[in-house]
Amino acid sequence: MAAASGVAHAARAMRVSLQAQYAICGVFDLAYNGRGEPVQVRVIGERQRIPTRYLEQIFQRLRRARVVTGKRGPGGGYVLARAASAITLRDVVEAVEGPAPDWIARAPGDAPAPHRPDFLWPLLAERFAAALAETTVDALCRDAARAAVARDDADGGMYYI
């Protein structure tokens, strides 16, 4: 039973939460489709199939972390707070999940076992966090373009690259 607990914890430690996935999708959409213009959360939610109310909460956290900025009034919405090349996926995940050590901490009550490779779980989680830190939103957009991910045109229609 102890071995199963350690393995289960490792899976939890490296799984990206739904909140973090939505944050990445939202920031990606803003960079990929926004073209520097304000985009409403409702529009991002529709494109990414994310509930608007939940996405609004996520964007508030992204704004507090200075990943995005909000523009009020007619034509308002969100824009990236800095260049997509200066925002990493780790910035995005930490905006909604907190600092990396919080997502890689050992589960309470999960005592080390002498015959398990427990040293491996924090190591893998740190490598995962490092990979997020090395991946910029700009790189994600370039990868999406290479993968022919659909993009909105200026009139709101879709076109494929």
Q: Domains of the chain: which residue ranges? A: 2-159
* Rounded-to-integer distance, Cα 126 and Cα 93, Å: 14
> For residues 79, 80, 81 and 82, what is the CA-based torsion angle, rounded to 10 degrees?
-140
At 73 the pLDDT is: 87
> Which of 73-87, 109-123, 131-145 has the lowest average pLDDT?
109-123
* 55 Cβ contact list (under 8 Å, min separation 6): 22, 26, 41, 44, 45, 48
Residue 78's H or E segment, with its range, is strand 77-80
Residues 67, 26: contact at Cβ < 8 Å? no
| Best-predicted range by mean pLDDT (54-68, 88-102, 104-118) | 54-68
Looking at residue 103, its pLDDT comes to: 63
Per-residue pLDDT tens over the stretch 107-130: 545 666 777 787 777 788 888 889
Average pLDDT of span 14-29: 91
* Amino acid 141: pLDDT: 97
What CATH architecture applies to the domain 2-159? Answer: Orthogonal Bundle (1.10)
Tokens of 102: 């919080």
How far apart, in Å, are the Cα atoms of 114 and each of 2, 126, 142?
11, 22, 45
